[in-house]
Structure 1
């Protein structure tokens, strides 16, 4: 791996990760705007923009876009999170220039044909319906809404049917002017690339991008008071109880890797505490896991499981006992080593996937402000001690109260 980083005169960041052994390039444009940047009443706007840029540009129709990338043997995709939109592609090295042109066109020159936008609203509403048919998705979305009731972090990434219907072409263009700007964009390329070539193409196709206007929307920061702890149980038309517990604290970089090891030990994999206690030892659940989210200004921990309604209270009691047990407050060094090995394996094998590598590089530049190599990440994970994991557990589990949301079958 040969990592290089640069910046265009307009402020756009460019980073490359050269891997000479492959014959392809994975190219992405990360925009530092996501669902937490959606204006009130237009929830789902960032995600809709991600869809809408594919509907045509000043130079290409939707069909042109699809044929251009596939004729070159590549593929094109995008995703939206609470804080980012990423549009990316993978192509053979010999098609890099034409593929870069296509990707830059989507990010800088979409035209949002009104008739196509109306059709795409129906597509997104179908996507929302698909989520609403998934009990696990529903309970997580409601958990966020209740955890951050007066903050954009609680907004659903897809929005609601009503908010999507309210989105106009003017909303799309305004979002582009405010967020698809060089100071909020990061170009990352990994694979068979030369840094000077990616810089040249970036300057050629995106060097004229203008900065955001003076009245551009500003992201609302998170503070500890924006998290509202709660305990709630509701009846739903489902087959088993859906349980989510979680908490959120302000960002705390010194324990970043310790929190990752803690999460690995708690709810990641077959040997995790949650899986062993709830599934293997007691047969209470098919799925039990924890997840950790690192956002610009907060860290959130969530625990999920599903169980028979009659076993709900037992399951909740066991999770509560586990969160206050010596297994987390005074962790076994051997368990820590296993958790670290799981993390290291997942990270190293993940970096063998080009799309993951590109996305990870962009995420580092956005979150930390600089690139962290796979070797540096591995060393940081390996250096975590049991005492640091205990401190991380105390921080994430005791600094703010744990919230609980249970969706029970209505039968």
Structure 2
């Protein structure tokens, strides 16, 4: 049972009590990410996430680390295109202590100039590491090819040039604009009860900020191509197709279709590209859902001489999917796999906290396990065919990182 509470300032709290476990996971979700940035401050959401760990008015960075270590807790954070999350998992006996530290990090981070300069160097290295991993960076290039100059095409990490210009005032002003109560969800899952909502209220229920309506603009999907020559052993190819937004009625049809296409070891792409032809070690597909659109991505890496054959194999696999859809066996097996993955995920307080936080923030609703299973069972060949026609009725965007092929 999920308890929901909206504070007077507009902040939302969702709590799921799981008496059978001894842990509690607390997550602070903020509806802001690289999509909310501009060409001048790209990377600030991710940098801000890092700076939450770099000291408060009363705690040093080492204090934060030692305090979580002293209770056997785990604390972490991440930034995506559309949201940021700061979270901790602790024993149920330490949940109030963990909440106090998280609140201190959220409200009282000092943004010390020396710590900021140190952390900029850390992120410079993170960017360099990313650039040295072509099978990662090619996905950022695909976002640029798919969305052009729209913020959904921005890299989450930003650039060294942007980072150099950030200071304490830059971060505080960004928080003032984006970290408003209406954009924040506190999600809790584990061995606790609704009395914990009152504890959260004590920290988060009274802060206020000037409400500003969202200025996000829906992107137009672009079937562009971006190619980059790089000194690599492999060519790394990504294809992108205009997908479905968060909460779309055909979401489960899309998940099942993608599972058959390239989402598992038994998928058509894996079997055809890797197992039958030996063209790639890594080949897969996945779908990213955003508030108002989505992107289906196909990735594979191969030697540059085999790139034309790889592309041809992928195209033929997609063409067969368009023409014939799924077999009865594929549909049945994928439904059972999806239901199994869903049920297994419920065993983790981390995953429950994450699912509840995202659902509240992006959809403002929660479905029971029985409701989700019913929706999965309702997926049919017809509903999957609608998804196939929606995704593959236009040209794909393309990103390619490969050794120089001119010579």
- How far did residue 379 of structure 1 move? 2.4
Q: Counterpart in 2 of 1:209?
A: 207
Distance in 2, matches of 1:153 and 1:355, equals: 27
User: Within 2, Cα distance between the matches of 1:236 and 1:5?
Assistant: 50
Q: Matched residues in 1 for 2:67 and 2:226: separation?
A: 50
TM-score (norm 1): 0.94
Tell me the secondary structure at the aligned position of residue 338 of structure 2. helix
The answer to whether the 8 Å contact 1:261/1:340 transfers is yes
Aligned to 1:222: 218
1:199 and 2:197 correspond: yes
Using the TM superposition, give the Cα deviation of residue 286 of structure 1 relative to its aligned residue in structure 2, in angstroms: 0.8
Distance in 2 separating the partners of 1:105 and 1:81: 23
Structure 2, unaligned runs of 5 or more: none
Q: Which residue of structure 2 lines up, in the alignment, with residue 258 of structure 1?
A: 253
Equivalent residues of 2:145, 2:397 under 8 A apart: no
Tell me: CA distance 1:308–1:82, structure 2 relative to 1, closer, same or farther (3 Å): same
Aligned to 1:242: 236
Query: Which deviations, in whole Å up to 9, do the C-alpha atoms of 1:99-129 show, x marking residues without a partner?
Result: 1111111112212011111111001111111
Match of 2:398 among 398, 404, 408: 404
Contact in 2 for aligned 1:222/1:250 (Cα 8 Å): no
Say whether the 8 Å CA contact 1:69–1:76 is kept in structure 2: yes
Give the whole-Å Cα distance in 2 for the aligned partners of 1:250 and 1:232.
23
Q: C-alpha separation between the residues in 1 aligned to 2:401 and 2:207?
A: 47
Partner of 1:64: 63
Structure 2 partner of 1:340? 335
User: Cα RMSD between the aligned structures?
Assistant: 1.7
Extract unaligned runs of 5+ from structure 1: none
| Residue in structure 1 matched with residue 377 of structure 2 by the alignment | 382
Contact 2:235–2:403 (Cα < 8 Å) also in 1 = yes
Specify whether residues 386 and 404 from structure 1 end up closer, same or farther in structure 2 by C-alpha distance, changes over 3 A only.
same
CA contact (8 A) 2:322 2:392 kept: no
CA contact (8 A) 2:243 2:289 kept: no
* Number of aligned residues: 404
Aligned twin of 2:266: 271
Q: 1:152 to 1:393 in 2, by over 3 A?
A: same
CA distance in 2, matches of 1:373, 1:149: 38
Any idea what SS the aligned residue of 1:259 has? helix
Deviation at 1:410, TM superposition (A): 2.5
Match of 1:85 in 2: 84
> Post-superposition, which runs of at least 4 consecutive aligned residues in structure 1 deviate over 4 A?
326-329
Work out whether residues 266 and 290 of structure 1, in 8 Å CA contact, stay in contact via their aligned partners in 2. yes
Relative distance call for 1:39 and 1:135 in structure 2 (3 A) is same
Aligned to 1:368: 363
How far apart are 1:394 and its partner, in Å?
0.8
